[in-house]
Every structure is written in C-alpha cells, then in structure tokens.
Chain A
C-alpha cells in the first residue's frame, strides 16, 4: 500500500446486464472454457512461485544466524543440518526498540481508523438521506479530492502542527490520517448507504424515530459490510504508512511507529540482513493476520464501487 494517498479508487459497479457478481457462477466450468491443459497449470505454478519466494526468503533468513545469512543464500538452509535461531527477533524487539514501536503503531493506527470511519459515516448518512443545498456540488469536490497527492499538503500542515505544538505527537498523525482518509471513506460509505432500501428509513421516520436513532439503529448496522471493508483498509493503510509518520512524527523517537523504525534501520545499515529480515517480519505479522482472517472484507473493499447493496 502506498504511503501517498488512501487506496481510493473509483471502480464502476462490476455487473453486466444488471446481474450482481455474487450470483454469477464461478469455477472451472464457467462458460465451458476448454479444460485447462498442463501448460496452464505450469504457468500458474511458476507465477505463484515468483510471488511467494521473495517473502519465503525473508522469513527463512530471519531465523538464520548472522554468520549463515551473510555467507550463503537462504535456500541452503532448507537442507540439513538445520540451524535456526530466535536470536534475531529477541535482538530487534529489545535492542532496536521494535517492541515499543509495535505499541506505537497500534496507538497510531487504531484512532486513525476509528475517527475517519465514524466522521465519514455521519457525513455519508447526510449525503445519502438528507437534503441540503449544494449537496451534489460538495460531493463532486470529495470525488476530486480522492486523487490529491499527499505531497501537496505536507508543508502547510506541518506548519500548522508546529504552531499548535503537536508536531511529533500521536494527535498530529491521527488528525492527518483522518483528513487524508476521509474522501475515500466518504465516497465508499455514501455509495453504500445510498443503496440501502428507502422504505426502511421512511417507515422509521413515520414511527417517530429521530435521524440519530435511524442512523445508529438502522443505517450503521445495515452498513456493516462496507464499514468493515473500509476499516480494514484504513487500518492497513495507517499501519503500513511511512510518509505521514516520517513527516509529522519525524525525529520524536519515543513515538515512532514500526515502519519508521525499520526504515531508519535500513538506512543506517544498522545490523546485517539477519536483523533487517526479522524487523521486517515484525511489521508484517499483524497485516498478515488481518489479511488471512478477513480476506473477504478486504477484497470487497477493493472492489469498492461494487459493494452497493
């Protein structure tokens, strides 16, 4: 995930002739494509290998001794005698301060996920179900802001943070991530909430439910799939972000997240490849758990425009 801008993308609804993708048959027999030949399997297998091996190499090197990983390639470790060690992880977590940085990453990412999602949900509900002047014009501005490069905002925002004395603090990063993540969050949630059945809100209003009640009791629970995808995205984006922390946390060592710490390790050549690989894997653990645990939501978030209803 790039550090410059949320994964915001405007994907058209992926349907053909009004048929939602979920109902389309998938699998090997789709459209009676000819049975795959051996060649196809081999090509796919080779591709999978290319995609997996770099990560496998990192993982294996992170469990090898300094002497081993600087002398021979990681693939030699696949043959006996086996000499794996956990020393690299102990070293990066304690001496390099990655244990603290892990906590910092959590302190940054959790609020930087909750705030934009909730703030966007309020506004998305207003855009979807309330009437006010210039509504469409304002939303066009949001669409335009989807592609703004972060770089365009760095200097003035940094000055602003310096003026208020919060440069280097978590608060600065929370606020910045919220501002940067909002256009995509608003776009996604407004599209989803706009697709909810009108009758539900009408009958709630007739029954005397206030807009706040309709929002918390109806709109939010019904939008859980979209909110979940969005939250996973925003969490991974803020967890993996380098640029925003680099600029707004910078040299305040106490508050540096994992990505910043590891980037500094790389640049200072601090320790050999055995430490860097372990450090890199520490940054990857949580994203990988999120990825494997919540892959369905993750994919749904990517096909953004397609999640309508």
Chain B
C-alpha cells in the first residue's frame, strides 16, 4: 500500500507540483502592474533552481570551508591543524599519491585509447556497432563494474584451478597467480584499469564527433599532396582536435580527482589503494573526524580550481563569439 502511495507521489504528484509552480507564478504576477511584471518574472522563474543551488552547493561549500578549521566535532577552531594532518599523515599522503597516479594514468589512457579507437573506427564499416561495445560500460554503475572486474582479477592459490581469466593466462604461461587487487604494487593500477574500461567510451564518442567535423577536403588535399597517414594525423587531425582533446582531458582529470565508488567497492582503500575521496568518507563515518574530512574536501576543491577557472574563461570566450 505505501508503495502505491509512493508511486502516485512519484509519477503524478511531483510533476503536478512543478507545473503548478509556474502557473502559480503567472497567477501571482497579475497583482503587479503591467510594466513591473517582466521585471519580477525572471526572478520567480529562476527561484527554484537558485534555491536548490544555494542550499545544496553554495551554502554547504562555505560550511565545509569553515568546518575544515574546526575540531573533530566542528565545535572549536583549531587553526590549520587539519591541513597539517592532511599533508603529514602517511596514509593521507599515500592517498594523495594515488590520486596523482590516477590523474596521470587514467587521463592519459582514457584520452589516448579514446582517440586511437575513434581514428581506427573511422575507417571501417562496422563503426557504430564497435563504438557501442566500447561505450557500453558508461551505462553501468561502478558497483557493477567492481563485481565484473573482481571476476577478471579473481585469485586462487597456486596449484588450484584459476577462476579469473587474467590469472588463468598468467599460470598458463607458467607464472604464479597474482592477487591483483590485494597487493600494494598492483592494486592502484588494477583499479585504474577498471576506470579506463568505463570511461574510454566517453572520450571516444566526443573525439569521434570532433573527428567527423574535420573538413574532408582538407584531408583529401593533404593525401593528394603526398602526405602519409602519420603526417595527416600529426599535422592536421591532431592540431584541429586539440581544443576537443583539452576539454575531454579536463573532464577526465576531474573524474580522476573525485574517484570514489570504484575504490570503495573493491578494496575500500586497503592494500595501498586509498584515494582522497575514499579517505574523506572514512574520516567522516568511521573515524568521526569532521574537521579532517572537511580539510580533505577543501584540498580536492583546490586541486580542481584551475579547471574551474579555465571553464569560466572558455565560457566567456564562447559568449563573446555569440
């Protein structure tokens, strides 16, 4: 019964309330004199969005900044103690190191593979089917991806039959099975591979769209003039795609910095695979260290700020062209 009520709220109640808001606004506006209406109206139309953005993004961001200077229960100010912790604690530094590894490898591999696949597939007839295959992991959750790859990385003791394909190959070639995830030297790389598997399709789709935008005549002219495929790529395709590559890369950098689910589900940061976002979760819910958790969040934000500035700058340029 309560499920039925909830279903009614979800399917009928919420849309009705939203449409009702705008109709209500137009009704209320009638009390204003004609000239004032067009001045008041825009504010009422953006009001709901503004409220959500303020309550769930701006206000909490400021709150977190303040909390980062307070103690574990957010009661007394402790100066920079939480930041000192972030930059001196060995485990947190380890997490920062892993985030840097994510940032470099994840970004390079997703953008690199995405570009390579986009260019290769541009030459074959089954392009769209092949694209779907690479793109598919984008649709599923990191939780499901974690389970999928725990099968790939499955480890059984030496001598027994390996249930994971990767270790089956390793032992088949005469090696010893490796515990890919629970092992300090391979753990983070194994997790980054999962991330790359999921996000390469995203890069491929955007880069492929950019590739299709390059003038056919230009490429033809270069080939007629005797340029080989490498030269066409290096001196025409790559420079023209650069703006798109830059945008895709910044998106991947943000994802690398915010990496959480994949780590939480597979290793929960153990075996030297921790990252900042997961560490923050643990500070918050397992150690009850609100101040330290807030400081980690602020550090993440600071790392993302250059991209924020670049986005705003690019937006201003686009608007200027408009």
Where the two chains meet, the residues of A that have a C-beta atom closer than 8 Å to any C-beta of B are 1-5, 7, 9-12, 14-17, 19, 21, 24-28, 30-34, 36, 40-41, 43-44, 47-48, 51-55, 57-58, 61, 69-75, 103, 106-107, 110-111, 114-116, 118-120, 122-123, 125-127, 130-132, 135-136, 138, 140-157, 159-160, 170, 175-176, 178-180, 182-183, 186, 210-212, 215-216, 236, 239-243, 246, 259, 262-263, 266-267, 273, 276-277, 279-281, 283-284, 287-288, 290-292, 295, 298-299, 302-303, 306
Contact = CB atoms under 8 A, between A and B. Distances in A.
Given A10-B311, A145-B53, A152 B163 contact: no
Given A14-B213, A262-B147, A210 B134 contact: no
Contact of B141 (A55, A141, A211, A287): A287
Nearest to A171: B9
5 contacts: A12-B247, A51-B137, A149-B257, A152-B297, A267-B265
Contacts of B314: 10, 12
Interface residues of B, number: 127
Interface in B208-250: 209-210, 212-216, 219-220, 223, 229, 240, 243-244, 247-248
A276 B147 contact: yes
Interface string B279-315: 0110010000010011011101100100110011011
Contacts of B163: 69-74, 273
B281 to A, nearest CB: 8
B150 A276 contact: yes
B14 A284 contact: no
**Residue of B125, B130, B140, B307 with highest tally of chain A CB at under 10 A:** B140
Contacts of A267: 265, 268
A23 to B, nearest CB: 10
B205 interface: yes
A130 B38 contact: yes
B75 to A, nearest CB: 13
**Residue of B6, B56, B266 with highest tally of chain A CB at under 10 A:** B56
B168 interface: yes
A36 B123 contact: yes
Interface string B79-113: 00000000000000000000000000000000000
Interface string B100-143: 00000000000000000100111111010010111111111111
Nearest to A45: B130
Contacts of A71: 161, 163
Given A53-B152, A122-B45, 14 more contacts: A28-B125, A31-B223, A41-B124, A132-B42, A140-B315, A152-B60, A152-B301, A154-B293, A155-B293, A155-B294, A157-B55, A263-B143, A273-B150, A281-B144
B315 A10 contact: yes
B180 interface: no
B186 interface: no
Contacts of A106: 10
Nearest to B151: A57
A246 B165 CA distance: 32
A160 B62 CA distance: 14
B219 to A, nearest CB: 4
A283 B163 CA distance: 23
**4 A-B pairs closest in CB distance:** A179-B56, A156-B63, A240-B141, A123-B49
B35 interface: no
A242 B161 contact: no
Contacts, number: 385
B54 to A, nearest CB: 9
A170 B260 CA distance: 22
B170 interface: no
B262 to A, nearest CB: 8
B143 A303 contact: no
A280 B294 CA distance: 32
B207 to A, nearest CB: 9
Contacts of B58: 145
B286 to A, nearest CB: 12
Given A16-B215, A147-B308, A111 B49 contact: no
B57 interface: yes
Given A33-B122, A118-B18, A14 B206 contact: yes
A16 B254 CA distance: 27
A246 B265 CA distance: 12
Nearest to B129: A48
Given A152-B64, A243-B261, A182 B215 contact: no
B160 to A, nearest CB: 9
B190 interface: no
A142 B46 CA distance: 12
A52 B136 CA distance: 9
A125 B125 CA distance: 41
A123 B257 CA distance: 30
**Residue of A1, A28, A110, A135 with highest tally of chain B CB at under 10 A:** A1
B146 A303 contact: no
Nearest to B259: A2
B49 A182 contact: yes
B220 A31 contact: yes
B120 to A, nearest CB: 6
A278 to B, nearest CB: 10
A98 B51 CA distance: 35
Given A52-B133, A72-B163, A10 B247 contact: yes
